[in-house]
Amino acid sequence: MTTATTSVEISYLEAISQALDEEMARDERVFLMGEDIGAYGGAFKITEGFLQKYGEWRVLDTPLAESGFVGAAIGAAMMGLRPVVEMQFADFISCAFDQITEVAAKNHYRWGAAVPMVIRAPFGGGVHGGPFHSECPEGWFFHSPGLKLVAPSTPYDAKGLLKAAIRDPNPVIYFEHKFLYRRIKATLPQHDYIVPIGKADVKRAGNDISVITYGAMVHLALEAAQLLAQEGIDLDVVDLRTLIPLDKETVYGSVRKTGKAILLHEDNKTGGIGAEVAALLAEECFDCLDGPIVRIAPPDTPVPFSTPLEEFFLPKTGDIVEAARKLAAY
């Protein structure tokens, strides 16, 4: 387990561990449930050492039954605890779909029962996980009122958003990107901080084209921005961070400045978050647009396994560069 007072660089994964550890130490209502999170420390070792530190009633290994333990989290949350459940892989969240969309999302609206809980969902491809260990299922929940969805791209945001999610009085699905776990590092503040839910972040300010994205794709956009800067094309990279509630003002602000928008995500193209943001831009920013709204997203297929197939499937830096050049010509 990482300590809370480290001043060295820590990974995205360690930032998640720290957030859980600090919240559990701060608030005894916070407890964890999931498959293999106890003695084994979780499939990705996020909760390594937690069982020894917090005991078996705050770090609960569950039977292999996502609907069952998400339902249990809902019940515990309504009784005043703050459960954080781990999906071993975000893909398995489909087993708990009913509990999330019908019970957790609707309880407060229907009869006023607050459900303060977090579902951690390790998502995303680029790790050769194949169709059942690489999915981006945020689109399924984007359409369910009553849930909050967050997807951090940096260690700072990963820690701050997880703390905010745990302290939020609503069900929050926290999409943590597996590809970023050990690849992205940063030095984090020593003090307790949160990243507020509902606030996007401009990760790179630029004047020519807005790239609106989240999760691992933020880093692709930043890479593309560096390459394009040499050609005199200046990208404004907006990291949504929160998918629901969407920070529309920051998105509109960016596009009003640049007049051009690329929507970039790793979820399938049809019905993805990009489709919704494109529609919002058409409704609210039509007058400011100087070119077509462009979407960069994988084709409408499952996430494939074999390396050339997955490479073809995932958006690449070159796709952004190419799209930006075309847009810049308008």
Partner 1 sequence: MDIEMVSQHIKRADLLQMYYYLLLTRSLEDRITALYRQGRIVGGCYTSHGMEAIAVGYASAIERDDVIAPFHRDMGAFLIRGITPGEVLAQYLGKRTGPTKGKDGNVHMGDLKRGVLGFVSHLADNLPVATGAALAFKIRGESRVVVAGTGDGGTSRGDFHEAMNFAAVRKLPVVFFCNNNQYAYSTPQRLQMAITDVVDRAMAYGMPGEIVDGNDVAAVYLASKRAAARARAGEGPTFLEFKTMRMHGHSEHDAAKYVPHELLEEWKAKDPILKAERLLTQLGYGDEGYFQEVADRAKKEVEAGLEFADHSPLPEGREVLEGVFASEEEVQS
Q: Does 31 sit near partner 1 (CB under 8 A)?
A: yes
- For helices 273-284 and 248-258, what crossing angle results, to 10°? 60
Report, in Å, the least distance between residue 16 CB and partner 1: 23
109, containing H or E segment = helix 107-111
Which CB sits closer to partner 1, 73 or 255? 73
Q: Does 241 sit near partner 1 (CB under 8 A)?
A: no
**The Cα angle at residue 108 between residues 280 and 246, in degrees rounded to 5:** 20
Which CB sits closer to partner 1, 148 or 178? 148
Look at the block and give the residue holding tokens 């909760």.
Answer: 47
Say how many residues touch partner 1, by CB under 8 A: 43
Task: Enter the tokens of residue 14.
Answer: 């360690």
Report, in Å, the least distance between residue 69 CB and partner 1: 7
Which CB sits closer to partner 1, 40 or 330? 40
Which CB sits closer to partner 1, 114 or 288? 114
Residues 135-164 that bind partner 1 (CB under 8 A): 145-146, 148
Report, in Å, the least distance between residue 154 CB and partner 1: 26
Report, in Å, the least distance between residue 97 CB and partner 1: 11
Identify whether the C-beta of residue 218 lies closer than 8 Å to the C-beta of residue 253. Answer: no
Strands (E) in 189-317, as ranges, are 201-204, 209-213, 235-239, 242-244, 261-264, 294-296
Report, in Å, the least distance between residue 94 CB and partner 1: 13
Known active-site residue 133: yes
Taking the C-alpha atoms of residue 87 and residue 34, their distance in angstroms, rounded to an integer, is: 7
Which CB sits closer to partner 1, 2 or 101? 101
Task: Enter the tokens of residue 323.
Answer: 């799209």
Q: Does 213 sit near partner 1 (CB under 8 A)?
A: no
Which CB sits closer to partner 1, 106 or 204? 106
Taking the C-alpha atoms of residue 31 and residue 38, their distance in angstroms, rounded to an integer, is: 12
- For helices 155-167 and 12-26, what crossing angle results, to 10°? 30
DSSP state of 104: I
Taking the C-alpha atoms of residue 186 and residue 163, their distance in angstroms, rounded to an integer, is: 17
Q: Does 170 sit near partner 1 (CB under 8 A)?
A: yes
User: Strands 59-61 and 148-150: what pairing?
Assistant: unpaired
**Does 169 sit behind a cis peptide bond, omega within 30 degrees of 0 on the bond before it?**
no
Active-site choice (128, 133, 177, 265): 133
Report, in Å, the least distance between residue 79 CB and partner 1: 4
Q: What binding mask, one character per residue, do residues 96-135 give for partner 1 by CB under 8 A, x or -? A: --xx--xx--xxxxxxxxxxx-------------------
Taking the C-alpha atoms of residue 234 and residue 222, their distance in angstroms, rounded to an integer, is: 11
Residues 34-93 that bind partner 1 (CB under 8 A): 57-58, 60, 62-63, 65, 67-81, 83
Q: What residues are labeled active site?
A: 133
Which residues lie near partner 1 (CB under 8 A)? 31, 57-58, 60, 62-63, 65, 67-81, 83, 98-99, 102-103, 106-116, 145-146, 148, 169-170
